[in-house]
Protein backbone atom coordinates (compact mmCIF):
# COMPACT_ATOMS: atom_id res chain seq x y z
CA UNK A 1 0.00 0.00 0.00
CA UNK A 2 1.34 3.41 -1.01
CA UNK A 3 1.53 6.23 1.55
CA UNK A 4 0.81 9.57 -0.06
CA UNK A 5 0.56 10.52 -3.71
CA UNK A 6 2.16 8.42 -6.44
CA UNK A 7 5.20 10.10 -7.98
CA UNK A 8 5.04 10.88 -11.72
CA UNK A 9 7.86 8.43 -12.46
CA UNK A 10 5.97 5.58 -10.75
CA UNK A 11 2.74 6.55 -12.50
CA UNK A 12 4.58 6.46 -15.85
CA UNK A 13 6.15 3.06 -15.12
CA UNK A 14 9.53 4.69 -14.52
CA UNK A 15 9.90 5.86 -18.14
CA UNK A 16 10.18 9.58 -17.47
CA UNK A 17 13.60 10.90 -16.45
CA UNK A 18 14.94 7.61 -15.14
CA UNK A 19 18.59 8.54 -15.81
CA UNK A 20 18.14 11.92 -14.14
CA UNK A 21 16.41 10.32 -11.16
CA UNK A 22 19.24 7.78 -10.83
CA UNK A 23 21.86 10.57 -10.91
CA UNK A 24 19.90 12.57 -8.32
CA UNK A 25 19.69 9.51 -6.10
CA UNK A 26 23.44 8.86 -6.43
CA UNK A 27 24.19 12.50 -5.56
CA UNK A 28 21.92 12.33 -2.51
CA UNK A 29 23.51 9.06 -1.38
CA UNK A 30 26.98 10.57 -1.82
CA UNK A 31 26.02 13.57 0.31
CA UNK A 32 24.62 11.28 3.02
CA UNK A 33 27.70 9.06 3.01
CA UNK A 34 29.93 12.15 3.25
CA UNK A 35 27.90 13.49 6.20
CA UNK A 36 28.24 10.21 8.09
CA UNK A 37 31.98 9.71 7.54
CA UNK A 38 33.87 12.02 5.16
CA UNK A 39 37.09 9.98 5.29
CA UNK A 40 35.43 6.68 4.44
CA UNK A 41 33.29 8.36 1.79
CA UNK A 42 36.37 9.78 0.05
CA UNK A 43 38.15 6.41 0.05
CA UNK A 44 35.10 4.68 -1.36
CA UNK A 45 34.45 7.46 -3.90
CA UNK A 46 38.06 7.23 -5.06
CA UNK A 47 37.76 3.45 -5.48
CA UNK A 48 34.53 3.84 -7.42
CA UNK A 49 35.36 6.89 -9.56
CA UNK A 50 39.12 7.47 -9.78
CA UNK A 51 40.72 4.03 -9.53
CA UNK A 52 39.14 2.74 -12.77
CA UNK A 53 40.44 5.83 -14.59
CA UNK A 54 43.96 5.32 -13.24
CA UNK A 55 43.85 1.65 -14.21
CA UNK A 56 42.79 2.69 -17.71
CA UNK A 57 45.80 5.02 -17.94
CA UNK A 58 48.08 2.11 -16.95
CA UNK A 59 46.44 -0.10 -19.57
CA UNK A 60 46.95 2.53 -22.26
CA UNK A 61 50.61 3.08 -21.31
CA UNK A 62 51.36 -0.64 -21.51
CA UNK A 63 49.29 -1.06 -24.66
CA UNK A 64 51.23 1.67 -26.44
CA UNK A 65 54.38 -0.50 -26.58
CA UNK A 66 52.94 -4.02 -26.42
CA UNK A 67 54.00 -4.76 -30.01
CA UNK A 68 57.63 -3.70 -29.36
CA UNK A 69 60.04 -6.33 -28.07
CA UNK A 70 62.85 -3.77 -27.73
CA UNK A 71 60.96 -1.37 -25.46
CA UNK A 72 59.25 -2.00 -22.14
CA UNK A 73 57.34 0.33 -19.87
CA UNK A 74 57.13 -1.34 -16.48
CA UNK A 75 54.97 -0.17 -13.61
CA UNK A 76 57.12 0.58 -10.57
CA UNK A 77 54.51 1.72 -8.09
CA UNK A 78 52.54 4.77 -7.27
CA UNK A 79 50.53 6.45 -4.61
CA UNK A 80 47.14 8.05 -4.51
CA UNK A 81 46.22 9.30 -7.95
CA UNK A 82 49.57 8.58 -9.60
CA UNK A 83 51.53 5.70 -11.10
CA UNK A 84 55.28 5.46 -11.75
CA UNK A 85 56.90 3.52 -14.58
CA UNK A 86 60.41 2.88 -15.83
CA UNK A 87 61.13 2.93 -19.54
CA UNK A 88 63.56 0.23 -20.66
CA UNK A 89 65.14 -0.03 -24.09
CA UNK A 90 67.11 -3.19 -24.91
CA UNK A 91 66.91 -4.05 -21.21
CA UNK A 92 68.53 -0.77 -20.11
CA UNK A 93 66.71 1.52 -17.70
CA UNK A 94 66.41 4.79 -19.62
CA UNK A 95 63.92 7.14 -17.92
CA UNK A 96 61.05 7.40 -15.48
CA UNK A 97 57.48 8.02 -16.56
CA UNK A 98 54.70 9.32 -14.34
CA UNK A 99 50.96 9.26 -15.00
CA UNK A 100 48.45 10.94 -12.70
CA UNK A 101 44.90 12.13 -12.33
CA UNK A 102 44.50 15.68 -11.09
CA UNK A 103 41.16 17.50 -10.87
CA UNK A 104 39.63 15.59 -13.77
CA UNK A 105 42.76 15.77 -15.91
CA UNK A 106 45.19 13.06 -17.01
CA UNK A 107 48.79 14.20 -16.57
CA UNK A 108 51.93 12.59 -18.06
CA UNK A 109 55.53 13.52 -17.22
CA UNK A 110 58.97 12.06 -17.85
CA UNK A 111 62.20 12.39 -15.90
CA UNK A 112 65.75 11.14 -15.58
CA UNK A 113 66.60 8.17 -13.38
CA UNK A 114 69.76 7.18 -11.54
CA UNK A 115 72.34 4.98 -13.28
CA UNK A 116 71.01 5.78 -16.74
CA UNK A 117 73.30 6.93 -19.48
CA UNK A 118 70.42 9.07 -20.74
CA UNK A 119 68.98 12.34 -19.49
CA UNK A 120 65.63 13.97 -20.03
CA UNK A 121 65.36 17.50 -21.39
CA UNK A 122 63.17 19.91 -19.44
CA UNK A 123 59.58 20.19 -20.52
CA UNK A 124 56.15 20.71 -19.07
CA UNK A 125 53.95 17.75 -18.23
CA UNK A 126 51.36 16.92 -20.87
CA UNK A 127 47.76 16.95 -19.74
CA UNK A 128 44.20 16.82 -20.99
CA UNK A 129 40.72 16.31 -19.59
CA UNK A 130 40.31 12.63 -18.74
CA UNK A 131 37.40 12.40 -21.22
CA UNK A 132 39.92 13.06 -24.03
CA UNK A 133 42.19 10.16 -23.05
CA UNK A 134 42.31 7.32 -25.54
CA UNK A 135 44.95 5.21 -27.29
CA UNK A 136 45.66 8.00 -29.80
CA UNK A 137 46.20 10.61 -27.06
CA UNK A 138 48.47 8.19 -25.18
CA UNK A 139 50.51 7.44 -28.32
CA UNK A 140 50.97 11.14 -29.08
CA UNK A 141 51.82 11.93 -25.47
CA UNK A 142 54.36 9.13 -25.10
CA UNK A 143 55.91 10.04 -28.45
CA UNK A 144 56.36 13.65 -27.34
CA UNK A 145 57.81 12.60 -23.98
CA UNK A 146 60.20 10.06 -25.56
CA UNK A 147 61.63 12.81 -27.79
CA UNK A 148 62.89 14.51 -24.61
CA UNK A 149 65.27 11.62 -23.86
CA UNK A 150 68.87 12.46 -24.83
CA UNK A 151 72.29 10.80 -24.46
CA UNK A 152 74.27 12.17 -21.48
What gap in Å lies between CA 150 and CA 111, rounded to an integer? 11
Q: Residue 76: how many CB atoms within 10 A of its CB? A: 14
Average pLDDT value over all residues in the chain = 89
pTM of the model: 0.76
26 within a domain of the structure (yes/no): no
103 within a domain of the structure (yes/no): yes
Q: Work out the percent of the chain whose per-residue pLDDT is above 90.
A: 70
Pairing of β 82-89 and β 92-102: antiparallel
123 within a domain of the structure (yes/no): yes
The total number of structural domains that make up the chain: 1
104 within a domain of the structure (yes/no): yes
The domain of 132 spans 53-151
20 within a domain of the structure (yes/no): no
CA dist list (Å): 125 to 49, 56, 59, 95: 23, 19, 19, 15
Tens of pLDDT, residue by residue over 78-132, are 988 999 999 999 999 999 999 999 999 999 999 999 999 999 999 999 999 999 9
37 within a domain of the structure (yes/no): no
90 within a domain of the structure (yes/no): yes
φ, ψ of residue 90 in degrees (nearest 5):
50, 40
70 within a domain of the structure (yes/no): yes
Whether residue 1 has pLDDT greater than 50? no
Q: Work out the percent of the chain whose per-residue pLDDT is above 70.
A: 89
Amino acid sequence: MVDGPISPSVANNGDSGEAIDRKSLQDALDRLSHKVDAGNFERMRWGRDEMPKLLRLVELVKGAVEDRSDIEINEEGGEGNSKRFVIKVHGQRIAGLGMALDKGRAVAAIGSIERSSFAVEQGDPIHTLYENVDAEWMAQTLGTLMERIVQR
